[in-house]
Structure 1
Amino acid sequence: MLALDFDGVVADALQECAAVTWHAGPFGRGATAPRLPDAIDEVPHSFIETFRQVRAYSRTLDDFMVANVLHERPGSIDRQLFQSTRDLHRRDLADQAAAAERVRGNWRDQQYDQWTGLHTVHPEVAELIANARQDIVIVSAKDAESIKAVLKLHGLDEKVSRIKGACKNKRHVLQALLNHDPDMAGEGIIFVDDSIENILDARDLPVRVKWAGWGYHGPEDLAVAAEHDVRMLHLSEVAKLTSAGGS
């Protein structure tokens, strides 16, 4: 089985993620966010740069909302600042994340073509999904309806056997897959994610972890990966994951 993260691994949707974050926060318009593409145009370039830094450390939609707190703060954002801000504002971030889900849902349901067009699927990963010999499950913090919509646009929805969306803890999802089918440990699950934290969380499971180098991660993460002997997987290597050994 291939267990793939979605945002960052299968698709890149930085503008879409930044826009739902902006409009869910104190600077935006919440559920009354304008239609696309005006909603994208309203997001300041400075906020997108703040979001890009926050995105590197984010594991959930709540984490994205840290950008609303740190926007216009001088200086760069490192993991320590990200984590302390997240811990201090957990309740507000959760409320904003719920608003972001509503904004995203409105765009997806009312402007399907414009919204799906904000997601760029990596050709190498699309080919991997299309040609994989293994079952494929998407394990993502993004909601399942949005994931299915993007996969359908690219003709990949029928290639994916399961979608585990809105994940707060991917290790728990992987463990549940193993518990549901104990033989899976012998057959092997290959887990591909761009978050070094998610990769390290899953290392003690009978799962082969692959850190996606084409996704989002902070500058400190390279040192963390080296410390834990985690090798970065490159886009040019993803086709090898369709082999029986998944090496």
Structure 2
Amino acid sequence: MSVNAPTILALDFDGVICDGLPEYFATAWRTYCKIWLPSSQTTPENLTSQFDRLRPVIETGWEMPVLIRALLSGVTEAEIWQNWSAIAQKFLQQDNLTAAEIGKQLDAIRDEWISTNLDSWLDLHRFYPGVLERLHSLIDSPVKPLIITTKEGRFVEQLLQRQGIQLPSQSVLGKEIKRPKYQIIRELIAIATQTPVVFWFVEDRLKTLQLVQQQADLEDVRLFLADWGYNTSAERELAQQNPRIQLLSLAQFAEDFSAWG
């Protein structure tokens, strides 16, 4: 194995392999309508594109319908970029809601959709250009691809199978694992059969990479921020200033590992 290639390549799913923006918005809009009962359930013009642009401010699912609430209440995109956390809390207090209540509603709406019309839910997921081809090329290579995601593993497997990619179940570590990604990485390194272990991790959330960076025993894990995912220009600039984290482009991802920087 070349020193310029990993033995294990761990990938986040949403924001690295798959773009779930259409599903995020559709579920968020249904939740918004359920909670705030607008006079019309027809999606307002331009709302979807605004939501898509602002997706990087979202850290947890409950925030998605609140983002719609803020936009429809006249909060500007510039204000949301600058002060989203405080804005979200303001709407919780103003509307006498809690994050847990909204999250429960959103999960229930998504679960009902999945149980009644799984295919239409799966159809709302799209894949970034070239990523599936790259993933497929790794399946019979010396590099072991893994997926570490907060999405349920069974849905990841179904989405990939629809595209002709069959990964072993043990290669998809989803929401059901219920452990932080840095702990999953630690466990994967401990059970790796191929030595030495050269572990690379590609993620679109800077905070997740920073948490891995804070683990003293994971200092040899090579960290990449996917610049095509759900992150901001400010986060990408921070990554470029961090000697442990490398900014990775979609074009680089499709190339040989030696081109990854």
- TM-score greater than 0.5 by the shorter chain: yes
Q: 1:196 to 1:175 in 2, by over 3 A?
A: same
- Equivalent residue number for residue 239 of structure 1: 254
Which one-letter code corresponds to 1:82 in the other structure?
Answer: W
Q: Secondary structure at the match of 1:28?
A: helix
1:188-203 aligned at under 5 Å gives the runs: 188-203=198-213
Which range moved further: 52-61 or 131-140?
52-61
- Equivalent residue number for residue 163 of structure 1: 172
- Equivalent residue number for residue 5 of structure 1: 12
Q: Does 1:29 align with 2:30?
A: no
Offset of 1:197 from its aligned partner?
1.6
Q: Does 1:14 align with 2:14?
A: no
Offset of 1:185 from its aligned partner?
8.3
Structure 1 alignment gaps of length 5 or more: 31-40
Question: Equivalents in 1 of 2:44, 2:256: separation in Å?
Answer: 39
Identity %: 22
Q: Does 1:186 align with 2:196?
A: yes
TM-score, normalised to structure 1, is 0.77
Q: 1:66 to 1:12 in 2, by over 3 A?
A: same
- Equivalent residue number for residue 85 of structure 2: 83
Q: 1:63 to 1:144 in 2, by over 3 A?
A: farther
Q: Secondary structure at the match of 2:130?
A: helix
Deviation readout 1:183-230 (Å, 9 max, x if unpaired) = 678312211111122222223423111111111212321332233244
Q: Does 1:137 align with 2:146?
A: yes
- Equivalent residue number for residue 212 of structure 1: 226
Asked if the contact 1:136/1:160 (under 8 Å) is kept, the reply is no
Question: Equivalents in 1 of 2:188, 2:106: separation in Å?
Answer: 29
Larger radius of gyration: 2
Offset of 1:63 from its aligned partner?
4.6
Question: Equivalents in 1 of 2:186, 2:84: separation in Å?
Answer: 27
Which one-letter code corresponds to 1:233 in the other structure?
Answer: L
Question: Equivalents in 2 of 1:46, 1:219: separation in Å?
Answer: 22
Determine which of 123, 127, 131 is the counterpart of 2:133. 127
Aligned pairs, number: 233
Asked if the contact 1:60/1:141 (under 8 Å) is kept, the reply is no
Asked if the contact 2:146/2:171 (under 8 Å) is kept, the reply is yes
Offset of 1:80 from its aligned partner?
5.6
Question: Equivalents in 2 of 1:10, 1:149: separation in Å?
Answer: 14
Which range moved further: 197-206 or 78-87?
78-87
Asked if the contact 1:135/1:160 (under 8 Å) is kept, the reply is no
- Equivalent residue number for residue 120 of structure 2: 114
Which range moved further: 165-174 or 121-130?
165-174
Asked if the contact 1:129/1:159 (under 8 Å) is kept, the reply is no
- Equivalent residue number for residue 98 of structure 2: 92
Asked if the contact 1:136/1:161 (under 8 Å) is kept, the reply is no
Which one-letter code corresponds to 1:158 in the other structure?
Answer: L
Which one-letter code corresponds to 2:20 in the other structure?
Answer: A
Offset of 1:237 from its aligned partner?
1.6
Which one-letter code corresponds to 2:83 in the other structure?
Answer: L
Asked if the contact 2:150/2:174 (under 8 Å) is kept, the reply is yes
Question: Equivalents in 2 of 1:102, 1:80: separation in Å?
Answer: 31
Question: Equivalents in 2 of 1:184, 1:96: separation in Å?
Answer: 44
